[in-house]
């Protein structure tokens, strides 16, 4: 997993406003549960990079507390996911109050995957996407199509008043062998919007290195290589936005 600053942010002197966070904890049966989250700060938000980092870390820690306390992935409900979102909003509200700002100054999107042994849960608010494979076929598919507003380059954020209505949520007990999360800076490369399909060759080329890794959890060497790749001219010629990509495999 890695993030890379967009060339437009370099030119304007802005920091990277993407953030990612993950942790693996054991459930009540001693099985590992991996929690992945990615946030993209709103370009119009004064503290976008702070909001995305706080939202990522807070969400993952709330889910980790649930699992560590005996909760099971298959029992996660939409209402429980909503309570975690409320917890993130509370953290952002406290931060904004302390800094004499508004919660919307910390606006960001949220993509999250909770991978258990028997079930996988997915949450999304905003753009970017989650792509999965069952490991048995070569087919890659998105879980939710990116949320875009009525106008170009608009989306939803966790600070939106209707966040609980627009939240995309799903739990599946079907096999999920591999998963990728990416921010909207990579959407035009990895999704074919005319046909609403996934650009499978990209994932077919990226995942063999992940499968070969012998690291338990995050592989620092692969993460460094991915960060370099996301900053290459080949990528930057196609997008000037911040880019974040998370790749995970059960193999």
> Which residue stretches of the chain have pLDDT < 70?
137-138, 150-152, 251
pLDDT at 44: 85
pLDDT tens across 160-209, in order? Answer: 999 999 999 999 999 899 999 999 999 999 999 899 999 999 999 998 88
With CA atoms as reference, report the closest residue to 63 among 122, 4, 2, 107: 122
Model pTM score: 0.93
Determine if residue 172 is left, alpha or beta; phi over 0 gives left, psi from -120 to 50 gives alpha, anything else beta: beta
pLDDT at 12: 85
pLDDT at 152: 62
Burial of 117 (0-12, 13-18, 19+ CB in 10 A): middle
pLDDT at 4: 87
In contact, 126 and 156? CB cutoff 8 Å: yes
> What gap in Å lies between CA 115 and CA 35, rounded to an integer?
6
| Domains parsed from the chain with CATH numbers | 2-249 (3.60.40.10)
Determine if residue 182 is left, alpha or beta; phi over 0 gives left, psi from -120 to 50 gives alpha, anything else beta: beta
pLDDT at 9: 86
> What gap in Å lies between CA 73 and CA 4, rounded to an integer?
31
Burial of 214 (0-12, 13-18, 19+ CB in 10 A): exposed
Residue whose pair of structure tokens reads 């999107």 in the numeric block = 109
SS3 36: strand
> What gap in Å lies between CA 111 and CA 62, rounded to an integer?
15
pLDDT at 211: 85
């Amino acid at each position: 997993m890695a993030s890379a600053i967009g060339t437009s942010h370099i030119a304007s002197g802005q920091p990277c406003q993407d953030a990612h966070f993950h942790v693996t904890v054991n459930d009540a049966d001693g099985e590992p549960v991996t929690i992945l989250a990615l946030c993209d700060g709103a370009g119009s938000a004064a503290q976008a990079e702070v909001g995305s980092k706080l939202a990522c870390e807070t969400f993952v820690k709330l889910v980790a507390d649930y699992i560590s306390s005996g909760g099971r992935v298959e029992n996660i409900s939409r209402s429980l996911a909503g309570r975690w979102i409320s917890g993130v909003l509370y953290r952002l509200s406290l931060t904004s109050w302390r800094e004499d700002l508004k919660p919307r100054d910390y606006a960001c999107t949220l993509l999250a995957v909770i991978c258990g042994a028997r079930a996988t849960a997915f949450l999304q608010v905003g753009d970017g996407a989650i792509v999965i494979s069952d490991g048995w076929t070569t087919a890659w598919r998105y879980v939710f199509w990116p949320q875009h507003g009525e106008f170009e380059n608009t989306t939803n954020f966790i600070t939106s008043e209707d966040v609980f209505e627009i939240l995309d949520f799903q739990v599946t007990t079907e096999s999920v062998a591999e998963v990728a999360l990416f921010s909207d800076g990579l959407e035009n490369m990895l999704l074919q919007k005319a046909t609403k399909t996934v650009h499978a060759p990209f994932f077919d080329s990226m995942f063999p290195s992940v499968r070969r890794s012998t690291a338990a959890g995050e592989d620092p060497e692969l993460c460094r290589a991915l960060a370099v790749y996301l900053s290459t001219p080949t990528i930057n010629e196609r997008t000037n936005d911040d880019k974040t990509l998370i790749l995970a495999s059960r193999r």
